[in-house]
Amino acid sequence: MEPLADSYGRRIKSMRISITDKCNFRCAYCMPAEGLPWLKKSEILSYEELEHIARVAVSIGIEQIRLTGGEPLVRRDVPEFVRQLRQIEGLRSLSLTTNGILLKQQAKVLAEAGLSRINVSLDSLVREKFAQLTRRDQLERVLEGLAELEKYPSIYPVKINAVAIRGYSEEDVLDFVRFARNKAYVMRWIEFMPLDADQIWCKEDILTGGEIKAIIETQYGPLVPITTGDPSETARRYTFSDGVGEVGFINPVSEPFCAHCDRIRLTADGQLRTCLFATEETDLRAVLRGGKSDEELAATIHQAVWHKELKHYIGDKRFRRANRSMSMIGG
Ligand code: SF4
C-alpha cells in the first residue's frame, strides 16, 4: 500500500494520539474553570485498541507518535502502554506531552519503557502567575518533575512549551531563557490559537514568535538559526551566539506551516482528525469495534488522509472553529 499522503502531496509521518480527555489542570486558554463533561469509559479506546490503530498506522507510513491528552499521565499504566508501542516495528520516535505534575513519580518508569522525547507544558516560572493561568497552585511539582527527568538522559530532548499570550507572557521570556540555558532544556513558545473551550480567543491576545524573539535579542543579541532540513518541523529553532541553549517559536498564526504539515491526530474516543482545526472526523472506533480487517482500517485512514485539509484559515473569513476544543484533541 502507498505510504500515507494527501491530495496536496504532503507525506504524513506523524500521529498524535490522545489517550484521555481528562486533565488535572484548568488552563484558561484551554478549558473552563469547572472543567468539561468527560467522555464515558465505554467511549474511550482501550490500550489494546489504541495499539492496534497505531500498529496499522505505522504499517502505512507513520514514523513518529506523540501521546497527548487532556493530561495523558492521569490515565493509568501509561508506561506499560509506552512499552507496548515500543514493540511496533517501524516506529522511529515515541514522545509525550504532559503538564508535568505527575512526572516525578513516572519519569523512571517512562524512561525504562522506552519513551524517546518529552514536551512539558509550562507557561510561567512565577508561582502566582502559574496558578492564575492553570487554576492550580502546582508550579513546584512541575519543577520537581523536570528535575527528576534529568536523571534519565535517554529521554532527550526535554522541551518546555509555553503558550504565548499578550499581556501575560512578555515578562517571563528572559526568565525562561535563563532557565532553559542553565538546564539544557529546549524552550519553545507557541502562539495562542482559537481552540479554547470558552471561545474567548481573539487575535489581539496573540503575542507572536517574532515579538518574543525580539525580546530575547535585546538581551542576547541576534539569535542564530538552526536548520534541520525537515520542512515539516513546526518550530523555528535558534541557538545563541555563545552556542549555549536552544529556543524555538511555533507560529501557527503569524507564520503558518500548513504547507509542510505531516500530522494527523487520533482522539481518545477513536476519531481520526486530519487537521487540528478539522470540523469533521473519521470514526476509527466504529471500524475497529465493527470487526473490520486491518486492510479495511488502513484503507479508511488512507481515505481520510487523502482529504486532509489544506490549511487553517485563522484570520480569514473562511475560518471555522474546530468541532472540539484543545483538551478533546490533545494538541
Ligand atoms: S492547522 Fe492543520 S494543516 Fe495546518 S499545520 Fe496544523 S494540523 Fe497541519
pLDDT tens column, 156-180: 999 999 999 999 999 999 999 999 9
Structural domain contains residue 52: yes
**Residue-level pLDDT at 121:** 98
Atom number in ligand 1 closest to CA 257: 5
Task: For residue 164, give its domain range.
Answer: 14-329
How close is the Cα of 267 to the center of ligand 1, in Å? 16
* pLDDT band at residue 331 using 50, 70 and 90 as cut-offs: confident
261-286 average pLDDT score: 97
Atom number in ligand 1 closest to CA 309: 3
Based on the structure, what is the number of domains in the chain?
A: 1
Structural domain contains residue 170: yes
Residue nearest ligand 1's atom 4 by CA: 258
48-56 average pLDDT score: 98
Give the tens place of pLDDT for each residue, 94-125.
999 999 999 999 999 999 999 999 999 999 99
How close is the Cα of 63 to the center of ligand 1, in Å? 18
* Residue whose C-alpha is closest to residue 312's, from 278, 282, 280, 287: 278
Residue nearest ligand 1's atom 2 by CA: 275
**Residue-level pLDDT at 296:** 97
**Residue-level pLDDT at 301:** 98
43-57 average pLDDT score: 98
In order, the DSSP letters of 84-118 are HHHTSTT--EEEEEE-STTHHHHHHHHHHHT--EE
Structural domain contains residue 9: no
* Residue whose C-alpha is closest to residue 188's, from 219, 157, 149: 157
One-letter amino acid identity for 238? Y
How close is the Cα of 11 to the center of ligand 1, in Å? 13
How close is the Cα of 145 to the center of ligand 1, in Å? 30
Structural domain contains residue 5: no
27-42 average pLDDT score: 94
Q: Is the torsion defined by CA of 323, 324, 325, 326 positive or negative?
A: negative
Residue nearest ligand 1's atom 5 by CA: 258
Structural domain contains residue 272: yes
181-188 average pLDDT score: 93
2 or 323: which carries more pLDDT confidence?
323
Instruction: Please determine, for residue 1, whether its predicted confidence score (pLDDT) is greater than 80.
Output: no
- Ramachandran angles phi, psi of 217, nearest 5°: -70, -20
Dist CA 322 CA 101 (whole Å): 28
**Residue-level pLDDT at 197:** 87
* Residue whose C-alpha is closest to residue 258's, from 238, 272, 278, 242: 278
* pLDDT band at residue 10 using 50, 70 and 90 as cut-offs: very high
Residues whose beta carbon lies within 6 Å of some atom of ligand 1: 257-258, 261, 263, 275-277, 309, 311-312
CATH of residue 103: 3.20.20.70
Atom number in ligand 1 closest to CA 308: 3
Structural domain contains residue 1: no
Burial class (CB in 10 A: 0-12, 13-18, 19+), 243: exposed
Residue nearest ligand 1's atom 6 by CA: 276
Structural domain contains residue 182: yes
